[in-house]
Amino acid sequence: MSPLHCFSLAVLLLAGVSIAQAEDRPEVIRLGAPAITGNIQGVWGATGVARAKGFFEEEFAKDGIRVEFPGFKGGGPMVGQALANGQIDFAGNGDMISIIGKSSGIKSRLIAPGTRLENAYLLVRPDSPIKSIEDLRGKKIAYFKGNYIQLQVIRILATVGLTEKDIRNVSLLGAPATNALLNGNIDAIFAGSESLESQDKGLTKVIYSTRGGSARLTAQSGLLVREDFAERYPEITERVVKVLVRAARWASEEQNRDEVFAIWAKGGRSIETLRADYEGRPLADRLNPLIDPFFIAQYQDTEKLVGELGLLRGGPVNIEQWFDRRYLDAAIKELGVENYWVSLDANGQRAQ
């Protein structure tokens, strides 16, 4: 090591700056999420918008940092495993899987909402005698246990005094579920907005949805970061959040609705489906990046339900301690959007 280099390191150490802080910078930032096909990540929320608009490149290319978006076949559980194994630095994942992972010992921080107010739909055959949630007692219902839709099913059934014990679950999703429904092997399907495609084709009929109803029945996801990444690269972590807040700000503008839907449609859902699913709520509510009373209440309720299902293998998760608002607060302040979004109260209503 040259005398000049030794002197430089000595100055840094005397100034209280670690070598890692002074010299380290990641060559690549990896944001993982469930795949829609193969290893192609779904186009979701503000992340999808930021990717399409080139916001990540604008922020990090000048530093020579690449940003990658690996997708994981197998959905949320595989994303959580990748985060735990250090294969990715950030993860977009649903509340249920994220809480299970945190309880199991995955060292993560939740630093921002991902998607919010995601709807659930109940589909039957067009000629089905099932007309309401009450009619589901004793019926075979397709949905995947162990992910966000299960919690929505539990919450929806509870509105009419039913529980999962009152129905018969069949673990099917997508085309296999639709085929089973049409063949009479199951009676109904609970699914997300992607299910509207089968209704558009005349194969199924939606008889219930959370759209326009209680926000407490919708699903939420969050952006997680590995603790060691956030501790080693706090500025990079803040800049990632800043990119997403910037994208959310642009996408929240109603005049950009058509372009936003065109971006998200690349993830497999048609523009018509997206328009139907997003009807009745301002884009600013669905893209709101604030960790507001509603987002906190939903995660707390999910933690409670997951505990009742016996899935918290490492014990309860303190939601408030798990959430780390520092990066989001700094990004919102830097972008000057402190007063742009309206917080939702614990019931999902706009705070007055």
Q: What pLDDT, in 10s, does the model give residues 88-103?
A: 999 999 999 999 999 9
Give the pLDDT band of residue 200 (cuts 50, 70, 90): confident
Query: Quick one: which of 116, 343, 79, 329 has its CA closest to 224?
Result: 79
Residue labelled with tokens 């603790």:
227
For residue range 266-310, what is the model confidence (pLDDT) as tens digits?
A: 877 889 999 999 998 899 999 999 999 999 999 999 999 999 999
246 has a pLDDT exceeding 70 = yes
Q: Cα separation of 236 and 234, whole Å?
A: 5
- Tell which wins on pLDDT, 179 or 194: 179
Q: Answer yes or no: are the C-beta atoms of 32 and 78 closer than 8 Å.
A: no
The set of residues, in sequence order, having a beta carbon less than 8 Å from that of 336 and lying 6+ positions away, is none
pLDDT for 9 beyond 50:
no
Q: Determine which helix (DSSP H) or strand (DSSP E) holds 241, and give its type and residue range.
A: helix 234-251
User: Angle 234-251/45-53 helices, nearest 10 degrees?
Assistant: 90
- pLDDT tens profile 48-62: 999 999 999 999 999
Q: What's the DSSP call for residue 147?
A: S
Q: At CA 98, angle to CA 92 and CA 103, rounded to 5?
A: 155
CATH 3.40.190.10 fits 121-209, yes or no: yes
Per the prediction, the chain carries an average pLDDT of 90
Mean pLDDT of 218-224: 96
In the three-class reduction of DSSP (H, G, I as helix; E, B as strand; rest coil), residue 275 is classed as: helix
Percent of the chain exceeding pLDDT 90 equals: 78
Average pLDDT over residues 214-220: 96
Q: What is the pLDDT of residues 111-158, one digit of tens each?
A: 999 999 999 999 999 999 999 999 999 999 999 888 889 999 999 999
Report how far residue 269's alpha carbon sits from residue 196's, in angstroms, rounded to the nearest whole number: 9
Residue whose tokens read 């959310």: 248
Same fold across 10-117+220-335 and 121-209: yes
- 71-72 and 140-142 beta bridge pairing: unpaired
Residue 276 pLDDT: 92
Going by pLDDT thresholds of 50, 70 and 90, the confidence category of residue 76 is: confident
Q: Give the model's confidence band at 20: pLDDT under 50 very low, under 70 low, under 90 confident, else very high.
A: very low
Q: How confident is the model at residue 179 (pLDDT cuts 50, 70, 90)?
A: very high
What secondary structure letter does DSSP report for 41?
A: E
Residues 10-117+220-335: name the CATH superfamily: Periplasmic binding protein-like II (3.40.190.10)
pLDDT at 195: 84
pLDDT for res 37: 64
Residue 166 tokens, joined: 């009152």
Domain boundaries, the chain: 10-117+220-335, 121-209
As a whole number of angstroms, the distance between CA 187 and CA 13 comes to: 68
For helices 326-335 and 234-251, give the axis angle rounded to 10 degrees. 60
Q: Burial letters for 290-306: b for 16+ Cβ neighbours within 10 Å, e otherwise?
A: bbbebbebbbbbbbebb
pLDDT score for 39: 60
From 52, 149, 168, select the one nearest 94 (Cα to Cα): 149
- Give the residue, 176 or 23, on which the prediction is more confident: 176
pLDDT at res. 3: 41
